Amino acid sequence: AQNWPKSTDKEQNRARILRLLGTGPKRFTDLINETRFSPRGLTTMLKDLEGHHKIEKTTLQNGKEAYRATKSGETWLMKYIGIVALANLLRDEGADYYEDRSSMHGFKYFYEMPWGVQDDMMVDKNLENPITKETAAELQKLLYRLIKKDFKDKKINLDPTKNGNILLGFMIDYSELVKSILENSLEYRESISEKELDILTGEETKMNPLLISGFGTSINVDRRKLIVTNRLKNQRLEFSPHKIDHDSIIIDGHTGNITFESMRWLMKHNIHLTLLNWDGKLLAATLPEAPLSGKLRIKQYQKYQDDTIRLKIAEKIVQSKIQSSLNLLSELAKFYDFGYTKAEKSFQNERQLFAKSEPSLNNLMTYEG
């Protein structure tokens, strides 16, 4: 527990502006109409917020100047807005107020028995209240039963000689709540495995790259899933959030596309992306937010020391390079007549010889050149 920070009117007014800008850029006149601040007062506050890099000017599609919140401003707002500050903001914006939403508190007078809990609600005036009386009542009953169980299990101490009040608040982001319900966030959280938890917390160190080879490959995100598609090979891979076993993606294809959304998806899952040139050499790479951990470096060295695993990794890389070379010839054959069929047959013969040869790093190096 910590002491509740006392906010000033100045902070509340600036938080109100940032909250409005959180829904998107707004012009000066829009902010005047929605806040009812005086033009002079609003100008002063906007200059102050801009000076502290919490907002910045932008240009709308119609060419008009507007203001928008910066990352710094959004971060400050999240830290500033507590249940009391949010209640003040909702009150100032004329939110709908529901006293004793469940009517459970009122029943104590009817039944003449103690209860001790009252639920009041404030809802943005432009929203429909998503919490019914029945839901509010079930929340109170659940809270009552859990506190009683904790007392019975001696997890907490209840002292009938003391007086005071406790404020338990739920700050509900309506749009995010709706999104979480549609995407079954709670069901996923409750079914998450220990392995997935290791991935989320960074406890598990793994080396399992996904090699994407071929022309016409696309990587995008659809309904929170990462989709990898290769139309030429008629292949499609799907990965749900936090359910991808690969720690990196290596691309050696030369045509295709990747969306910004899929790159953000990969970065959020701490999966770095490596792009190879036509000759198999490193062309570019994205790096995780933090550098490689010492634990991962140790794992890498252990794999290097294991000849079997080292050979397996090297084989995959060389096979990919050979396939990439064949793909390149296939594309060039569309524009130049150089006997692609003969070249393809030579590649097949080399594959057969490679399969029959004794697996060793020395033999592999004859193909690597």
Higher pLDDT, 75 or 274: 274
- Domain CATH number, residue 235: 3.100.10.20
141 in the same domain as 87: no
187 within a domain of the structure (yes/no): no
| Between residues 109 and 63, the one the model is more confident about | 63
Kind of pairing, strands 235-239 and 225-230?
antiparallel
How many distinct structural domains can be found in the chain?
Answer: 4
Instruction: Specify the pLDDT at position 7.
Output: 46
Mean pLDDT, range 127-152, rounded to an integer: 93
Does 184 reside within a domain? no
Q: Which of 1-10, 209-218, 237-246 has the lowest mean pLDDT?
A: 1-10
Least confident of 110-124, 227-241, 325-339: 325-339
175 found inside a domain: no
Position 123 scores a pLDDT of 93
Domain stops at, among 42, 66, 92:
92
75 shares its domain with 122: no
Task: Please determine, for residue 8, whether its predicted confidence score (pLDDT) is greater than 60.
Answer: no
Q: Does residue 298 form part of some domain?
A: no
Confidence band, pLDDT 50/70/90 cuts, at residue 204: very low
CB 74 within 8 A of CB 18: yes
Average pLDDT over residues 129-140: 93
- Kindly state whether residues 206 and 273 are assigned to the same domain: yes
Domain at 32, CATH number: 1.10.10.10
Q: How confident is the model at residue 51 (pLDDT cuts 50, 70, 90)?
A: very high
278 and 221 fall within a common domain: yes
pLDDT surpassing 90 at residue 154: yes
Q: Is the model more confident about 329 or about 182?
A: 182
Question: How far is CA 27 from its chain centroid?
Answer: 30
Mean residue pLDDT of the chain comes to 81
3-state secondary structure of 212: strand
Burial 170-186 (b: 16+ CB within 10 A, else e): eeeeeeeeeeeeeeeee
Shared domain check, 51 and 23: yes
| Cα–Cα distance for residue pair 109/215, rounded to 1 Å | 74
Report the pLDDT value the prediction gives residue 26, as an integer from 0 to 100: 94
Which residue shows structure tokens 């506050």?
45
What gap in Å lies between CA 170 and CA 182, rounded to an integer? Answer: 20
Domain assignment of residue 170, yes or no: no
26 versus 7: the higher-pLDDT residue is: 26
Q: How far is CA 307 from the centre of its chain?
A: 38
Same domain membership, residue 220 and residue 203: yes
Percent of the chain with pLDDT over 70: 83
> Do 87 and 103 fall into the same domain?
no
User: What is the pLDDT, as a whole number, of residue 28?
Assistant: 94
Instruction: Calculate mean pLDDT across residues 163-186.
Output: 86
Per-residue pLDDT tens over the stretch 78-93? 666 667 777 877 887 7
Q: Where is pLDDT greater, at 107 or 69?
A: 69
Give a yes or no: residue 189 inside a domain.
no
Same domain? 350 vs 273: no
- Final residue of a structural domain among 74, 92, 110: 92
| Residue 362 belongs to domain spanning | 306-368
- The 10 Å Cβ neighbour count of residue 250 is 20
- Claim to verify: residue 326 and residue 363 sit in the same structural domain: yes
Domain-embedded: residue 251 = yes
Residue 363 resides in a domain: yes
Q: What is the pTM of this model?
A: 0.40
Q: How is residue 6 written in tokens?
A: 């006392």
